[in-house]
Structure 1
Amino acid sequence: MSELLIMPLPGNEDLAERLARNLSAEMAPLEYRRFPDGESYLRLHADPTGKTVVAVATLNAPDDKIPAVLFAADLARDLGASRVGLVAPYLAYMRQDQRFSPGEALTSRTFAQWISAHFDWLMTVDPHLHRYASLDELYTLKGEVVAAAPALARWVAEEVDDPVLIGPDGESEQWVREVAALQDLPWRVFTKKRYGDRDVRMHLPDLTGLQQHTPVLIDDIISSGTTMARATRHLVENGFRPPLAVGVHGLFADGARDSMLEAGISRIVCTNTVDTPESVIDLSRDLASRLRDL
C-alpha cells in the first residue's frame, strides 16, 4: 500500500485528524480561501508524489462545498498523487433518483458522475439509498459503505439503561433491527396508515411488557425532526418515559431541534458524519478500519 496523506477540506479537520491518528498517517494541510470575486484559491502544504491522498469532506450543504472538493482532487493528482480517494461520511444528492414530474433533473446521477470523474474511490456511511440497490448503480468508481450500526450499538449499550429500540417509521427498520441484533435488545417499529390523500397517521407498535424500558428512537437521517417528534408524542401520551433520539446523520433543518425537544425528547445524539453539537458517536475507528482494507 502506498503511503497515505489525509487531506481535510474546510470544516473536516477534526475527523481528518482522528483518521490520521488511527492510521498513523500524515496530514496534508489544505489552504483554502476565496478571492474577492468569490472564486476559490487552494494550496496543498504537503508533497503527494507517489502517495494515496485521502480527501475528507462530509457533504451536507453540498452546493457550497463541491467546487472545492473537485478542485482539491485535481490539485492532488496534478501534484503527483498516485491515487485520490474521498471519504464523505455523509453523501449528498441521493434523493432525486426518479422523475416525479416532467423535466426534473436526476441530480443523483449527475452528482455521481462528477465524483466518479475526479476520484479513484469513495467511502461513505449509510448512504440513503431508495430506488438504488447499491452505490454501484450510480458511481463508476470503487464505492465502500461503512455501517454506523456497530457504533450506535456500542453507544446505546454503554449510555442507556434498559433500552428498547424504536423505529419512527418503516424506513428506519433496517437500522433499528441491526443495532438491536448487535446487543440483543428488544425493538419495535411504528407503522403508518393512510386514511386519505392528506390523512396519514402513525400507530404505536405493541410495546406490551416494555413500559419500564427507556425508549430509544433510531433513524438514519434527522432533518426536519417531524417524524421523531410525532413518535415521541405517541410514546409520552402512552405513559413511556421521554425517549432519546439517535441518528446516523444529523442534518437539522431550521427549527428541528426545538420541535423535537418540545415534543418531549430527552436527548438528541448523532454520529460525527456531520459536525454538530449532537455528534458524540465517533466513527473514525470504523472508517479507519475500512481505509486499511482499501
Structure 2
Amino acid sequence: MEGFSMSNLDNMVLVARSASQLLTVKISRLLGLKLVSVSFKRFPDGELYVRLLDSVEGCDVIVVQSTPPPQDSNLIELFLLVNGVIDQGANSVTAVIPYLAYARQDKAFLPGEAVSGRYICRMLCDCGVNKVITVNIHNTRVFDGLNVPFVDLNAAPLIGEHFKSFSLKNPIVLAPDEGACKEGEAVARILDCNFVFLEKHRDKYTGEIVTKEKHIDVSGSDVIIVDDIISTGGTVVNAISMAVKQGARAVHVACVHPLLIGDARLKIFNAGARSLVGTDSVPSDVSLISLAPLIAGALES
C-alpha cells in the first residue's frame, strides 16, 4: 500500500470512536501504536462535540470508525474526527472504515435516485483524507472517479479459518446470491470444498426478495452460508430454508458485516441455522472474528 512501510510505523497514531473502539485497541496492540485520547459529548439538541486531547501534529493519523446504524451519526463523527486531526497539523490521515454505510446504493436503480454511496465517498475526499481502507465493501464501484486511494480488504479468508476448527462433514459453501460469490469462493478455497450460489431478484419498488429455486446437492452435508452483509436476514433465510429442505445435515451462517436489524437473529435460527458468526466490523454478540490482524497487516505492509 502506497505510503505505508515498517519504517514509518513510529510516526503513526490511532484515533477511534464509538463504533470501533475495541477493534482499534486490538489494532493498537498488534502494531504497538499510540491511541489518541478524544473527548466526545452531545449537546442537548443532539449536536456532537469533538476535542482531541493529545497532539497529532506531524503524525500519520489512522482514524478507525465503522458506520453501522445509526449510520448518519457515525458518519458525522468520522467527518469531524478527520477534519479535527487535519486542523491540528496531522501529516496525513487514513480513514479505516470497516463497514461503510450507504455503499449498497452504488448506482441509480430507478430514475432520480441519489447514488448515496458515491456521495459519501466524495464527502470523505472533501474532508481531506489521504487514503481510505474498507473491508468487503458491497461494490467497489462507489470508488470510481475519486482522486484519493481507496483500498478494500477481503475478510472472507478469516471466516474460512474460523470454520476450519469445526468438525464439518462434507462441507459445502453456499452464497445466498451472486453478490456474495467473492466471499463464498474465498471461504471454499480455505476449506478446500465445493462452492455454489443462488440467484435472487429484488423488486426495485417494494424491496421484496425472491430467491430462485435451485437443486443443490447438500444431502447429508454441512452447509456454510456466506454473505458480505446480513441486514434484515431475508436473503439468508431463503438460502437456509432451501438448504434444509434439500437435506443439509447442518447449516452454519457467516458474514463480514453483521448488522442484524430487528429480529434478524431470530429469523435466521428459526429457519434452521445451527450457528451464526460475523466479524467485529460491526460490534455484536456474534462478532467473534476480529478484523484487527487483517487491518494491522494492511497498515504495515
Q: Which residue in 1 is equivalent to 2:193?
A: 185
Aligned to 1:120, which of 130, 135, 160? 130
- Listed as ranges, the matches of 1:239-250 within 5 Å are 239-250=247-258
Q: Quote the sequence identity (%).
A: 27
C-alpha change, 1:212 and 1:99, in structure 2 (3 Å) is closer
- Aligned position for 1:100: 109
The residue aligned with 1:149 is: 156
Equivalent residue of 1:65, what SS? helix
Tell me how far apart the structure 1 counterparts of residues 25 and 158 of structure 2 sit (CA, whole Å).
19
CA drift at 1:261 = 1.0
Structure 1 counterpart of 2:14: 6
Aligned pairs for 1:141-290 within 5 A = 141-162=148-169, 163-192=171-200, 200-207=210-217, 210-290=218-298
Unaligned runs of 5+ in 2: 1-7
Q: Deviations over 1:51-105 (max 9, x none)?
A: 1111110011221122221111111111121011111000112222333344322
Deviations 1:99-147 (A, max 9, x none): 33443222122211111122111111011007x2xx5405321111111
- Residues 253 and 49 from structure 1, CA distance in 2 versus in 1: closer, same or farther, beyond 3 angstroms? same
With over 3 angstroms needed to count, the CA separation of the structure-2 counterparts of 1:66 and 1:199, relative to structure 1, is closer
**Total equivalences in the alignment:** 286
Distance 1:199 1:136, change over 3 A: closer
* 1:17 equivalent in structure 2: 25
Normalising by structure 2, report the TM-score: 0.88
Q: Which has the higher contact order (CA 8 A, sep 6+)?
A: 2
Q: Decide which moves more: 228-237 or 98-107.
A: 98-107
> Displaced runs of 4+ in structure 1, greater than 4 A?
197-201
Shift in alpha-carbon separation, 1:7–1:106, aligned structure 2, 3 A: same
What SS does structure 2 have at the residue aligned with 1:158? coil
| SS of corresponding position for 2:96 | strand
The alignment status of 1:68 with 2:59, answered yes or no, reads: no
SS of alignment partner, residue 153 of structure 1: helix
C-alpha change, 1:27 and 1:237, in structure 2 (3 Å) is same
Q: 1:143 to 1:223 in 2, by over 3 A?
A: same
